[in-house]
Structure 1
Amino acid sequence: MDLNELKTLVARGESEISEFKKSTAQLRRAMETLCGMLNGSGGRVLFGVTPQGRIVGQAISDKTLRELADWLRRFEPPATITQARIDLGNGKEVLMLEALPDPVRRPYVFDGRPYQRVGPTTSVMPQETYHQLLAERPDSRTRWETLLAEGYGPTDLDQEEVLRTVRLGIAAGRLPESTGNDVPDILNRLGLLKEGRLNNAAVVLFGTRFLPDYPQCQLRMARFRGVNKSEFLDQRQIEGHAFALLDEAMLFLRRHLPVAGRIVPGLFEREDEPLFPLEALREALVNAFCHRDYTIAGGAVSLAIYDDRLEIWSDGTLPAGLTPDDLKRDHPSKPRNPLIAKVFYLRGVIERWGRGTQKIVELCVKAGHPEPEFGEQAGSVWVRFLPSGYIAPHRVAHDLTERQREILHVLSKKPSMPLREIRSRLENPPSDRRLREELLHLKKLGLVSSSGHGRGSAWSLVRQDNG
């Protein structure tokens, strides 16, 4: 492109396929615009041109080009963006970047987010549009969730759950009020029915029969005694559609999670809350159901509660290019099952695409806990929740009583305490003699220590791994 052609292009003004930037100091906004153009019909961004159409140019150094290359590497999938430099003859140039979209690879994301171009404006693409474009990729026909569910029809689905999804979707403002109550029509709108035939995603989301064809629609839950899997207090393994499994998991958590008591300001009343924020745990479970690899026939989502931690595992690996550390910061949203994720979103279960793992971290930190740990091991992805403080063990050489565990919890609050202070902090304090017997028993087990003698003695917690 020469200078005359540049002037002709600039004279047309900004539009859906053309945007002006005064300098490369606006590279991030320019990349977002190029992403929107890639998700549309293409376009150009010109650096060295003001929004009013005045050609001012800029000096383009090697450092500028290196920075540009770094920004261009943030597109997923890798995008075709050509570069051209138009010399203005005064030591300055106009840099033109042209986005050449490939419909086969659309939708594109930049720095973890997809963008769209509407007229001369760039904005974040709505999640529903993103998932629709993702489902339209040619390779979507080979994804497990889009394959036909042979031998299954609409009558094999939980139709009340389908209608409940519509009600919740309308309430969330994500489905039109005109959606109606015709189940086949609803399934068709959700992308779960094509020419009267269900796909695998429909069975995962709403199925009522799973064996022997869908053994992977399973949830495994356990509350272990101690910090390993040698003994459990409760263990369950159930089959069901994703929404039923999510409900069962939340019930299990409410039943088995330790509670942390706090005083409600202004009321002077004790309020018991689960040790970990339920919203964070629910988000982690939703991620597991949406992103797991359903092609693994013996796979499942697993929920394990130990004395010192909680873990959620799902079969499948992270998308190519993502590491466990990436899950704590902005990262590309690459759902393994976009149809399944789309229905969770429309139902209002997912609030914002691509931020689930970051939201989990934020909720735990806000509740005063350490950041959860993410990992990938033996073909599975896991998230581990850790408490902020001491959690008394259930078992050492043998089971501990609730009173003994309460004494340990009280001792965890201070470096040392005299007997009378320990007694004053217990909800139903025993006699001094009985409390001393309990402390001596805990000392024998190596959980507490004492210093001093008689009335001047003090008791301390022996810090160690819970178990």
Structure 2
Amino acid sequence: MSPDQITTWAAAGESEILEFKRSTGQRREAARTLCAMLNHRGGRLLFGVEPDGRMAGQQVSERTLEEIAQELREIDPPVFPSVERVDVGGGREVLVVSVSAGHSQPYAYRGQAWRRVGATNQSMSRDEYNRVLLERLHADVRWENQAATGWSVKDLDQEEVRRTLDEGIRIGRIEDPGTREPEAILRGLGLLEDGSLLRAAVVLFGRGDRLLPDFTQCLLRVARFRGTEKGEFLDNRQFRSHAFELFRQAQRFILDHMPIAGRFEPGRMERIDEPAYSPLAFREAIANAICHRDYATGGSSIGVAMYDDRLEVTSSGTLHFGFTPEALFEPHESRPWNPLIASVFYRRGIIETWGQGTIKMARWAEEASLPKPEILEIPGAVVVRFRRRATEEALQKTTGKTTGKTTGKTHDAVLALLAAEPSLTIPEIAQRIGKGSRATERIIRTLREAAKLERIGPAKGGYWKVLE
């Protein structure tokens, strides 16, 4: 390394990955900075450079190097940074100490963990320390992959287990094991280990009457509020059940309460419906809440709240692995917090491509001429917020759009409705979507001809299966 490189760094000034120290007399402060950089994305510390970037250098002896090494041994877990000596003339040197982002985060210096914020160091709170530690251990030790003590296959909704297998086989995401025994199915899904059910199996299939007192977090809270603030309830319910039933109930509640604007276009006899929210988008948000929430906190839940101007889906926990709300709307790697639960939802066909859900939500909202969804972090939870069109004038802007697009929105609403309630009859579907029975029959016929919907069983006692 040449003095020119030191000059270039010094001219750039201090940042989250670069800090200057006048001499190794400041080695304690330097070790704190290196600890913070290890907990961030790495960086360099230069001994012998003034805070203003002036390259002064210092005399370096073997004892100098030993003192630095001694101080760095106070960082735990142990680290082995690179130390380079750069001659800057006049018998003086600059020491460059470099670290990469640590693989054993969180790191602590003299018992305190630090994090890098801009060009400063801030102490980690206990909650943040625990979060970083959980993320490091995540591959091997998670809440979902621990044994569900006291639980057996008879405590699960075995029909839901079989439905998951049948649907996974139908869409090509599960190979037919040649058996419909729940225990064998669970083993194939990775939910049974050494003869013991995992907690993920309980979340996915646990019977509602068996969940208390062990699994209080398998809870969905839904509410329709009057106005735009939490206050007066128009509807307020709670559901305690396995993930698939909560998934259905959340969609059913939204579809029951979601306003649908109707309008007519010249030359058309049928009314054109505009749902207040994209059914595909809020379906994805509910699935994400189930797959990515924090189940470790007893009493936590998933929430669906509808106001006059917005819909919010809330899940307990926080964003992990450095994700920010903004980054989730850009291409990103999939890092599900509960990979076992997410894997079963994927095999069931509920989620499509890991890492694309939030991007799809934004696209579906745009296609429906709705505002882009928002993702917010609040204490103890993550919120996905869908807003309605700001004004009726904005709604009218869709008037000139093609019939195919508006018809597609109605078809999407029917598919979302039947995904949540597959046993609905034609009259019940018509009532939900605000159309006549004949118009509804035409929609159903179109969806069946397009291989998007299939009828299983007889007219009485059968059910609808959404194929796409």
**Mapping of residues 203-222 of structure 1, within 5 Å:** 203-208=202-207, 209-222=210-223
Query: Secondary structure, in 3 states, of the residue corresponding to 2:144?
Result: helix
**Is residue 250 from structure 1 mapped to residue 251 from structure 2 by the alignment?**
yes
Number of aligned residues: 263
1:303-360: CA deviation from partner (whole Å, max 9, x where unpaired): 0000011111101010131111111111221111000000000011111111001110
Specify the alignment match of 1:451 in structure 2. Answer: none
Q: Which amino acid aligns with 2:192?
A: L
Distance 2:138 2:334 in 1: 17
* 1:350 and 2:351 aligned: yes
Aligned to 1:142, what secondary structure does the other structure show?
A: coil
The one-letter code of the counterpart of 1:182 is E
Distance 1:375 1:161, change over 3 A: same
Are 1:254 and 1:274, in contact at CA under 8 Å, matched by a contact in 2? no
**Aligned residue in 1 for 2:318:** 317
Structure 1 residue 192: deviation in Å? Answer: 0.4
Q: Which residue of 2 aligns with 1:295?
A: 296
Residues of 2 paired with 1:214 and 1:266: CA distance? 56
- Provide closer, same or farther for how the CA distance between residues 192 and 265 of structure 1 changes in structure 2, counting only shifts above 3 A: farther
The residue identity in structure 2 corresponding to 1:341 is A
Q: TM-score, normalised by structure 1?
A: 0.53
The offset of 1:260, in angstroms, is: 2.0
Aligned to 1:372: 373
The answer to whether the Cα contact below 8 Å between 1:141 and 1:147 also exists between their aligned partners in 2 is no
TM-score of the pair, normalised by structure 2: 0.53
Q: How far is 1:363 from its partner?
A: 0.2
Q: Could you tell me how far 1:237 is from its partner in structure 2? A: 1.1
Counterpart CA distance in 2 for 1:211 and 1:264 is 53
In structure 2, C-alpha distance between the alignment counterparts of 1:291 and 1:225, rounded to whole Å: 29
Contact 2:389 2:395 in 1 (8 A): no
Displacement after TM superposition at 1:267 (Å): 4.7
Equivalent position of 2:153 in the other structure:
154
Unaligned runs of 5+ in 1: 1-102, 106-136, 391-408, 415-467
The structure 1 segments of at least 4 consecutive aligned residues displaced by more than 2 Å after TM superposition are 137-141, 177-180, 262-268, 271-274, 409-414
Within 1, Cα distance between the matches of 2:265 and 2:190? 47
Q: 1:321 to 1:158 in 2, by over 3 A?
A: same
Distance (Å, rounded) in 2 between the aligned partners of 1:412 and 1:257: 16
In 2, Cα distance between the equivalents of 1:247 and 1:155? 22
Alignment of 1:63-462 (within 5 A): 140-208=139-207, 209-263=210-264, 267-390=268-391
**Matched residue type, 1:223:** R
Match of 1:22 in 2: none
CA–CA separation in structure 1 for the residues paired with 2:318 and 2:246:
21
Q: Percent identity?
A: 50
Q: CA deviation at 1:232?
A: 1.0
Counterparts of 2:280 and 2:304 in 1: how far apart (Å)? 15
Please provide the CA RMSD for this pair. 2.5
SS at match of 1:235: strand
Separation (CA, whole Å) in 2 of partners of 1:172 and 1:190: 16
The letter of the residue matching 1:187 is L
* In structure 2, C-alpha distance between the alignment counterparts of 1:293 and 1:337, rounded to whole Å: 8
What SS does structure 2 have at the residue aligned with 1:237?
strand
* Mapped partners of 1:149, 1:263: distance in 2: 55
Shift of 1:388: 2.0
Q: Give the whole-Å Cα distance in 2 for the aligned partners of 1:354 and 1:412.
A: 31
Alpha-carbon separation, structure 2, partners of 1:218 and 1:239: 5
1:91-110 deviations in whole A, cap 9, x for unaligned? xxxxxxxxxxxx999xxxxx
Structure 2: gaps of 5 or more residues: 1-102, 106-135, 398-468
Whole-angstrom CA distance in 1 between matches of 2:314 and 2:383? 4
**Residue in 2 that maps onto 1:110:** none
Deviates more, 1:306-315 or 1:138-147: 138-147
